[in-house]
Structure 1
């Protein structure tokens, strides 16, 4: 009998305690910054003062931070060993969704601080991680196929969420097209390039350990998952890995190839608040809570160089050195809430997150246009970003392209 899925793990208490302690310390610093500007009677427009309060006031704020740090250290010492003695349970879908969303927003911080809530990258099937060793895969995978399909989820999501409205593109394709389907589970708050490089290494290990020789590899990426896939292709080629030789096709569902306007707007708003008035400037720090994965979506950053050479909170501009698509047939799916291109809903909302041109890889600037032929583009009207995961017309087109005996030659 299988164990019941748990909504809460022992490590969750440990991870949540760390976040609460860090939250108290950061809130104390924010309040102190506001106190400093108010007590200094600074001019109400422009940036405020930097630094800490002094005297008894400064001592109070320092004491709060120090005491909170000591409490955090004590909780760490208590909860870390305790969690090791409690057997791990299977996760419920509700827990998986909450942890995935938390990783999307704070994942880079969770990883850097060693928080047990940070998601390690793994290939999974039916929500269970796969050990990438030949014998382990032979025992886990029922009737492994020579044709592999890997699904890559988007920001704040997890591999179980490919199933939506009682439909799962991967499961349906496995049944219809005689292929084995695996899902990538990863921390979407990390930099896209970091996830891309690690994904490339996982695919290399997978093809070496797969129980039967792999003849074809296909990838479906939703939203950020498509950018992680593009990054993986770039680093695999750079490092001379073998798996790209088996890559047959890539499907991009609502992938922001040219970035997402909501992140660009949020970044401008954060910078505006920081310069508006010293009495509200401390609140701009709240905007910096968002993860590296989210800020990478501003212009679709795929490489380490896109974030290592500047602050990720600077607004910046589109990357002139972004890699193009790999030399295999690539298919793009876009959606819009509008009933036609250019109507009010299309202009203002697109699919709720990603504009049509960004999802299709289309740009008026030749250097940024991905050059995807019309025959490999699909556009749905009256659909939002998440409808791409379950819409029957999306699946019908996926299946048609996936089943083609002779794919359209690469551009």
Structure 2
């Protein structure tokens, strides 16, 4: 049997070419900075190079960058002739690759207009849903008045919800009659940017839904939970109607107060920047997206990052944002430990998010999230991604919602 040939959309090729050119220019800049550092001959912990090389070397580096720009522009123009601008057909492998790329570099993709940047959308069965009433009714002929919107985490996509032949959304549809809708977004953007866009998307969905919405619940995994909280903040400020329909939020491994890996990354940036010969390489680490650095403390709104250098080592300066008023909120944390282990839960948790962060606990009273004890649950012997496939987690979500989240208020 002949091998199946996979066709790569021209728009994707254009995106990867642009990304390759940007990466090559970044390497040229890195090389020039190292060159300047060597010329300055500092001591092991002397001052780093203040500028880029000049003279003949500077001309050479400018020529390299100019050539890369011209070559990239020429390739983009040539490919544009064959690009019919029809949105490429989605496939699981493509979605997985783009989701990971957007999580790490999504802000840069969006800023440069790269076609690989993911545009926020609501999906079902891996397909984008039209947010117009007649078309939405045709796409979802069995839409009910109970709607569950599932928001994925960093570097993930709507397809991430199906893991090990399980999907929390499908289980809610089977057991409680919810119509599951899956959010897809560029997780490399600021949480607040995605939160505001999510709020607006939910407002459109509420107005165009083909049935009367009796219950609207959001299930947020990891960063998706932060995006949901941010959406509630901006939806409330804008007076959106969907906020009045919101009957519950379930958080799965959400880093409400940050994730250790990004906090460690911030310290690494700081110390690498102090060593001249290594400082240039620190630019590689600083290429990570604003979405990633938002996870340092769990930033939700614009003022948490606006007019601040995200790579400056500083304490938690977030504005405390409580859980949305009048909305029953439930949280599930996980720990890789098989039994209660305070030290392990605090430092490791599910491998990415400590139990205390997932439960909204904080040393400062103003930052603590008021989850009722009966709305918290901890899964033992689970990692961060097991939260997506665990039948125990699924059963807990169903138990919380089976009587109607509003009855828990």
Gaps of 5+ in 2: none
Match of 2:341 in 1: 342
Q: Provide the TM-score with structure 1 as the length reference.
A: 0.95
Paired residues of 1:159 and 1:184 also in contact (CA < 8 A): yes
Paired residues of 2:347 and 2:354 also in contact (CA < 8 A): no
CA deviation after TM superposition for structure 1 residue 80, in Å: 2.4
Match of 2:11 in 1: 11
Per the alignment, do residues 5 and 382 of structure 1 end up closer, same or farther by CA in structure 2, a change over 3 Å counting?
Answer: farther
Matches within 5 A, 1:263-282: 263-275=262-274, 277-282=275-280
Q: Find the aligned partners of 2:145 and 2:5 in 1 and give their Cα distance.
A: 32
Secondary structure of the structure 2 residue equivalent to 1:167: coil
CA deviation after TM superposition for structure 1 residue 213, in Å: 1.2
Q: Find the aligned partners of 1:60 and 1:155 in 2 and give their Cα distance.
A: 39
Q: Find the aligned partners of 1:28 and 1:12 in 2 and give their Cα distance.
A: 24
Q: Find the aligned partners of 2:7 and 2:203 in 1 and give their Cα distance.
A: 34
Q: Judge which range, 106-115 or 49-58, deviates more.
A: 49-58
Tell me which of 315, 318, 337 is aligned to 1:317: 315
Q: Find the aligned partners of 1:408 and 1:213 in 2 and give their Cα distance.
A: 19
Tell me which of 300, 303, 322 is aligned to 1:302: 300
Match of 1:364 in 2: 363
Q: Find the aligned partners of 1:262 and 1:7 in 2 and give their Cα distance.
A: 37
CA deviation after TM superposition for structure 1 residue 47, in Å: 3.6
Match of 2:162 in 1: 163
Match of 1:118 in 2: 117
Match of 1:37 in 2: 37
Q: Find the aligned partners of 1:5 and 1:184 in 2 and give their Cα distance.
A: 30
Match of 1:284 in 2: 282
CA deviation after TM superposition for structure 1 residue 408, in Å: 5.8
Match of 1:206 in 2: 205
Q: Find the aligned partners of 1:406 and 1:248 in 2 and give their Cα distance.
A: 6
Q: Find the aligned partners of 1:315 and 1:195 in 2 and give their Cα distance.
A: 24
CA deviation after TM superposition for structure 1 residue 371, in Å: 1.4
Q: Find the aligned partners of 1:95 and 1:406 in 2 and give their Cα distance.
A: 36
Deviations 1:56-76 (A, max 9, x none): 111111111111111011111
Matches within 5 A, 1:209-248: 209-248=208-247
Q: Find the aligned partners of 1:82 and 1:243 in 2 and give their Cα distance.
A: 42
Match of 2:126 in 1: 127
The size of the alignment, in residue pairs, is 405
Paired residues of 2:328 and 2:405 also in contact (CA < 8 A): no
Per the alignment, do residues 326 and 347 of structure 1 end up closer, same or farther by CA in structure 2, a change over 3 Å counting?
Answer: closer
CA deviation after TM superposition for structure 1 residue 7, in Å: 6.5
Match of 2:150 in 1: 151
Secondary structure of the structure 1 residue equivalent to 2:83: helix
Matched, 1:25 2:25: yes
Q: Provide the TM-score with structure 2 as the length reference.
A: 0.96
Secondary structure of the structure 1 residue equivalent to 2:142: coil
Gaps of 5+ in 1: none
Superposed CA RMSD: 1.6
CA deviation after TM superposition for structure 1 residue 301, in Å: 0.4
Q: Find the aligned partners of 1:10 and 1:20 in 2 and give their Cα distance.
A: 15
Q: Find the aligned partners of 1:291 and 1:68 in 2 and give their Cα distance.
A: 23
Q: Find the aligned partners of 1:318 and 1:408 in 2 and give their Cα distance.
A: 36
Secondary structure of the structure 2 residue equivalent to 1:175: helix
